[in-house]
Structure 1
Amino acid sequence: MSSYREDRRADRAAERAQDREDRRLELEATQQREAARAEEKRKDAEAKRRQEQAEKKAKLAEQAAKKAAAAAKRAKLIRWLKTNPATLFVAFVMVASIVPAILSQVGALTGASVAAPMAGLLAAMLEGGAWAITFMGKQAEDAGREPRKYRIGTWAVAAVAAAVNFWHGLEAYGEHPWVAFVLGASSLFAIYIWDLKTHGSNGKTKEQKQADKARRAHLSARRKHHPQIVEQAVKLQAALPYGVLDDESAFAAAWRIHTGAEPGLSAQLYATATEAVLQLGAAFELGDSVRDELLETGFKAARLNPFPELTQTPGSQTGIGSDTGEPPAEKSRETGPRGRSDEELNALLPDALTAAADLIAEGKQISATGLAKKLQIRREDAVVLRDRVIEQRRLHVA
């Protein structure tokens, strides 16, 4: 019996302990749920605060951007006004000219028993028509088209409007004829100012005009001196699709067809240049053979020159010494053996021909000095060999 009671007490104690544990767990769960809700509320409040701050910053940034844009526009307008004062005054003068012109035309048409609404429309037609054609011409010019016909139309309509205003001025202010001229000019002055602004200030510069003039002179000279080549160039351009071959390329191609050489050169020019080189070479040959005599003659002439301070002496011209005018010291005559015999020179002729070919390959003239250096012989012998080499080469060419 006592055992049953003890077991019963133990069961009740366990039940009470389990109830206490259940209540504790339930309380902890409740506390966790409340903490989670509080944390969620805190996060929501923090997110809302951050969103409000971001919206406030974005609004402030937008306001700052608008202020900056407005300031930039004002600064741009101020800069434009500073850099384009002429445009501002042109606009003012044009308005001051157009408004009186329209009012004068309305008065003229109304005075001619035309109803006021119709008079206003007709006046707007004249002045507005002139400006409509003006702006059409500007648009055509910007697109690269010829604006001449638009300018003619503008001035024609403006002239009609000026005539109407002039007639009205004579009728209304007969005692002051100058007013009629002013009213007539009011229809023309604005057009004239616009024409100066768009065409005068944006016209070609002095350098561009000079370049155009030089280009026209060049083309005229080309047609004058090379008419056949110019004609051939035109034919080449006509044979190909438009724009494929420009003027310079066509002329260069025509030149090559007619002359076989690059532009500016021809067979005649090559022949002239070759002949000049040969003549220069002959002059060098002559000068090389009589160099001592030429120098001696030059020094004698320098001693007899009455104006030595105005001219250079032969020494300074030839680069062989100072310009004191003193002749070079006489060279001591060589006392060695005389020149080689004809047999020895004939034996050296093959070597001399080879040496001459080497000189030509090096771009030099066949001279006695060059042969003497190549063959290591006396200059007197080299002079004879040079003459024989030149004769041999002439015979070979012939």
Structure 2
Amino acid sequence: MSSYREDRRADRAAERAQDREDRRLELDAQREREATQAEEKRKDAEAKRRQEQADKKARAAEKAAKKAATAAKRAKLIRWLKANPATLFVAFVMVASIVPAILSQIGALTGASVAAPMAGLLAAMLEGGAWAITFMGKQAEDAGREPRKYRIGTWAVATVAAAVNVWHGLEAYGEHPWVAFVLGASSLFAIYIWDLKTHGSHGKTKAEKKAEKERRAHVAARRKHHPQIVEQAVKLQAALPYGVLDDEAAFAAAWRIHTGAEPGLSAQLYATATEAVLQLGAAFELGDNVREELLETGFKAARLNPFAELAQTPTSQAGLGENAPSTPAPTGRADGPEGKSEEELEALLPDALAAAAELVAEGRQISAHGLAKKLQIRRVDAAVLRNRVIEQRRLHVA
């Protein structure tokens, strides 16, 4: 019996212990839920606070951007006004001209028994039509099209409006006819101011006009002096698609076709240049043969030359320059191991004469350097041969 009671008490104690544990676990879970909820509320509050700060910064940035944009527009307008004072005065004068012109036309039309609304529309048609054509012309000009027909239309409509205003002025202000002409001018003056501003500022500068005049003169000179080449250039441009060859490229191609040379040159010019080189070479040869007489003549010419600043030194005349020896070359020398013997030089004399002829044909003077290069010999040997060649040529001329 006692054992049963003890078991019963133990069971009850275990139940109470379990109830306490369950209660503790329930309290722990409740505290954990409360802590979680509190953390979530804190995070939500923090996120809301951050969002409010971000929204506040965004509104401040947007407000600052609007203020900056407004200030930039104001500054841009001020810069434009400072840079375009003429535009302001033109706008003012145009308004002061257009408004009286329209009122005068309305008065003229209503005086002719035309209803006021219709008179206003007709007046707007005349003045507005002139300005509509004006702005269409400006748009065409900006697009690169010819605005001439628009300008003619503008002045035609403006002239009709001016005639209406003159007629009305003479009827209404007969005692003061000048008023009629002022009213007539009001329909033309605004157009004139606009035309002067838009087209007068786009005219060619003096440099552009000068360049255009020089270009026309150049084209005229080409047509005068090279008509066949110009005609060929036009044919080449016509044969190819439009814009493939410009004028200069077509003329250069036609020049090469007709002359076989680069533009500006030809076979005749090459022949003239070659002949001049040969004549110059002959003059150099003459200078080598009569060196002493030429030097004396050069010194006399330098003393008598009235243009001293243009005078050359005598040694630079007739080809006497750096190739001329400063001392007379030897006519002979003792045989040495490094040079050729007299017999070898005598054997080389015919070749030296031929090489000298080649130098003259090339427009160069007969020098030791030139003969040494032609004959592939030492310069000291070439100096001896040069003197012998000069002597041979002098005897031949005599």
- The TM-score bracket by the shorter chain reads 0.7 to 0.9
Q: What is the rounded CA distance, in whole Å, between the counterparts of 1:336 and 1:357 in structure 2?
A: 22
Pairing 1:382–2:362 present: no
TM-score between the two structures when normalised by the length of structure 1: 0.84
Secondary structure, counterpart of 2:384 in structure 1: coil
Moved more, 285-294 or 153-162: 285-294
Q: Which residue of 2 aligns with 1:116?
A: 116
Q: What is the rounded CA distance, in whole Å, between the counterparts of 2:329 and 2:71 in structure 1?
A: 99
- From the superposition, tell whether residues 365 and 110 of structure 1 become closer, same or farther in structure 2 (CA, over 3 Å): same
Q: What is the rounded CA distance, in whole Å, between the counterparts of 1:36 and 1:197 in structure 2?
A: 78
Amino acid at match of 1:311: A
Amino acid at match of 1:102: I
Once the two structures are superposed, what CA deviation does each residue of 1:50-100 show, in whole Å capped at 9, x if it has no partner? 111111111111111111111110000000000011111111111111111
The question of whether the paired residues in 1 share the 8 Å contact of 2:166 and 2:180 is answered with yes
Deviation (angstroms), 1:379: 4.7
Once the two structures are superposed, what CA deviation does each residue of 1:348-394 show, in whole Å capped at 9, x if it has no partner? 23542675599699x7714144437462416531314667999xxxx
TM-score between the two structures when normalised by the length of structure 2: 0.84
- Unaligned runs of 5+ residues in structure 2 are 318-326, 334-341, 373-378
Moved more, 2-11 or 14-23: 2-11
Q: Which residue of 2 aligns with 1:66?
A: 66
Q: Which residue of 2 aligns with 1:311?
A: 308
The question of whether the paired residues in 2 share the 8 Å contact of 1:355 and 1:375 is answered with no
How much identity, in percent, do the aligned residues show? 81
- From the superposition, tell whether residues 59 and 166 of structure 1 become closer, same or farther in structure 2 (CA, over 3 Å): same
The question of whether the paired residues in 1 share the 8 Å contact of 2:277 and 2:363 is answered with no
- Following superposition of structure 1 onto structure 2, how do residues 1-398 of structure 1 map, counting pairs within 5 Å? 1-300=1-300, 305=304, 311=308, 316-318=313-315, 347-352=347-352, 356=356, 365-369=364-368, 370-371=370-371, 373=379, 375-377=382-384, 379-384=386-391
Which one scores higher on RCO, CA 8 angstroms, separation ≥ 6?
2
Once the two structures are superposed, what CA deviation does each residue of 1:307-355 show, in whole Å capped at 9, x if it has no partner? 88x63798845369xxxxxxxxxx8998978xxxx99876223542675
Q: What is the rounded CA distance, in whole Å, between the counterparts of 1:302 and 1:41 in structure 2?
A: 113
The question of whether the paired residues in 1 share the 8 Å contact of 2:131 and 2:154 is answered with yes
Amino acid at match of 1:288: D
Amino acid at match of 1:190: A
Amino acid at match of 1:152: I
Secondary structure, counterpart of 1:377 in structure 2: helix
The alignment's C-alpha RMSD in Å is 3.2
Q: What is the rounded CA distance, in whole Å, between the counterparts of 2:225 and 2:284 in structure 1?
A: 35
The question of whether the paired residues in 1 share the 8 Å contact of 2:289 and 2:394 is answered with no
Amino acid at match of 2:41: K
Q: What is the rounded CA distance, in whole Å, between the counterparts of 1:262 and 1:315 in structure 2?
A: 34
Q: Which residue of 1 aligns with 2:339?
A: none
- Unaligned runs of 5+ residues in structure 1 are 321-330, 391-398
Q: What is the rounded CA distance, in whole Å, between the counterparts of 1:364 and 1:251 in structure 2?
A: 34
Moved more, 343-352 or 7-16: 343-352
Amino acid at match of 2:315: T
Once the two structures are superposed, what CA deviation does each residue of 1:107-134 show, in whole Å capped at 9, x if it has no partner? 1111122221121111111111111111
Secondary structure, counterpart of 1:287 in structure 2: helix
Q: What is the rounded CA distance, in whole Å, between the counterparts of 1:250 and 1:302 in structure 2?
A: 50
Amino acid at match of 2:239: A
Q: Which residue of 2 aligns with 1:327?
A: none
Secondary structure, counterpart of 2:220 in structure 1: helix
